[in-house]
Amino acid sequence: GGQEPRHTCNLNLQSRAGAWELLRDLTAIYRGMAYWAQGQLKIQADIPRATDVDFAYTRANVIDGRFSYGSASERTRYSRALVSYDNPANNYD
């Protein structure tokens, strides 16, 4: 019942790299993300977050360990996304 590290990092930097490239590489180690927002560097980590879930359903606690999945029809699914691009040539603005 204990905990163990999800990711470990033991590194020795031996060559030069741009700061932005280095930050992206380091955050990729733990499936994270570094980005520029509102004039500052933001770092996001892929970690479990507190949720408002009252109960988690798993194969261990459902009848015969079987799930039945459903989904919306293709006509009601989104097929487009609005995205933005932070241009490195424009100081990530």
pLDDT in tens, 68-83: 777 778 777 776 777 7
Full domain range(s) for residue 35: 1-65
Q: Which residues contact 68 (CB under 8 A, 6 or more apart)?
A: none
CB-based contact 36:42 (threshold 8 Å): yes
- Asked whether residue 88 is assigned to any structural domain, the reply reads no
Residue 77 lies in a domain: no
The neighbouring-strand residues paired with 35 are 42
**Which tokens sit at 34?**
């570094």
Kindly state whether residue 35 falls inside one of the protein's structural domains.
yes
Taking the whole predicted model, whether its pTM rises above 0.85 is answered as: no
Q: Does 75 reside within a domain? A: no
Domain count for the chain: 1
pLDDT per position as a tens digit, 42-61: 988 877 766 666 777 788 88
Is 40 contained in some domain? yes
Say if 38 falls within a structural domain: yes
Nearest CA among 25, 6, 8 for reference residue 16? 25
Neighbours of 25 (CB within 10 A): 13
